[in-house]
Amino acid sequence: MSDTTTLQADLLQAVAAASDEAALEAVRVGALGKKGSISALLATLGKMSPDERRTQGAAINAVKDAVTAALAERREVLRAAALDARLARETIDVTLPLRDPPAESGRIHPLSQVWDELSTIFADMGFSVAEGPDIETDDYNFTRLNFPEGHPAREMHDTFFFNPKEDGSRLLLRTHTSPVQVRTMLTQQPPIRVICPGRTYRIDSDATHTPQFHQVEGLVIDKESHLGHLKWILHEFCKAFFEVDNVNMRFRPSFFPFTEPSLEVDIQCRRDKGEIRFGEGEDWLEILGCGMVHPNVLRACDIDPEVYQGFAWGMGIDRIAMLKYGLPDLRALFEADGRWLDHYGFKPLEMPTLAGGLSS
């Protein structure tokens, strides 16, 4: 085997063994560079006779052409392999589902949703929202609301009391949002038209009761308000909140220390397969209590009952949320379970409006 034949075989083997473009470039420089093996053979042609130059020149150029072609072919193979590896490394699987944007992944808690729905409905009727502290005095929570001494609601088994002060008085966690009505009447002159949503506290816990829950109460004080106005307001509220065209209501006599006369309100419904449908059926469900504000309450709040009168009502926000949205257990409202919230929650940008629908 001649030197050119051996050189060609060695170079072609080196080209085939190159694992990447850098290694292939090193083979090219070693063969065709200024000091490469093929270049060195070409440099010897000047010292040969014409006949030898003709013969050796053709052989060396044949080796050069074969190596050059092998380099080009191997380079294409390596570039294709490098591109395939890059594509595999940088592949984006467009078949995977897109992540929800923040505006879609968050959820509004049903209680917050119902709170907004209540505020929307009553704001349309001209009511403003009044708020007050969760920690109250005995005077605002009981005495000014006509709760006599010894009333069961004042007992430890129903109310969370703080330790007595040096003068014997005790603060407490409010048992209803009625103290907000008292504070409103003491700081505003009639006419008054407010709703009072907020947290309340009582010692009770089961599937339909929790130690901390939410109430909304309404108060109207002026010179001409009467039970007819109260019934209309409650009727319009129930139609708007439960999103039905008509709802039948039943008012039953009851007793509350802060109203006289006092009434409990039932709405007509139909129970079917664990669901409650309003505006139809032959059954009744109690949802709230109401009545005309007791004259003693007006006097305790520095309002003359000979000049002004008014009415009030109260209902549990948690309870009406359960009724409207089919929540089976009140305790789930407070367990902070993300899976539950994903199921029952509401999209954050779908704010309740009377025109667009409260729960759309």
Domain ranges in the chain?
A: 3-89, 105-344
pLDDT range class, residue 105, cuts 50, 70, 90:
confident
Q: Is the pLDDT of residue 351 over 80?
A: no
A 10 A CB-CB count for 171 gives 17
Can you give the pLDDT at residue 306?
94
Can you give the pLDDT at residue 201?
92
The CATH class, in words, for 105-344 is: alpha beta
Can you give the pLDDT at residue 126?
93
Q: Is the pLDDT of residue 42 over 80?
A: no
Q: Is the pLDDT of residue 2 over 70?
A: no
Tell me the two tokens of residue 219. Answer: 């108060």
Can you give the pLDDT at residue 206?
63
Q: Is the pLDDT of residue 222 over 80?
A: yes
Q: Is the pLDDT of residue 198 over 80?
A: yes
Continuous segment of H or E residues that includes residue 208: none
Q: Give me the chain's average pLDDT, please.
A: 85
- The highest-confidence range among 97-106, 149-158, 247-256, by mean pLDDT, is 247-256
The residue with greater pLDDT, 18 or 276, is 18
Put simply, whether the predicted model's pTM sits higher than 0.85 gets the answer: no
Q: How far apart are CA 36 and CA 310, in angstroms?
A: 108
Continuous segment of H or E residues that includes residue 288: strand 283-293
Closest Cα to residue 227, out of 314, 311, 313? 311
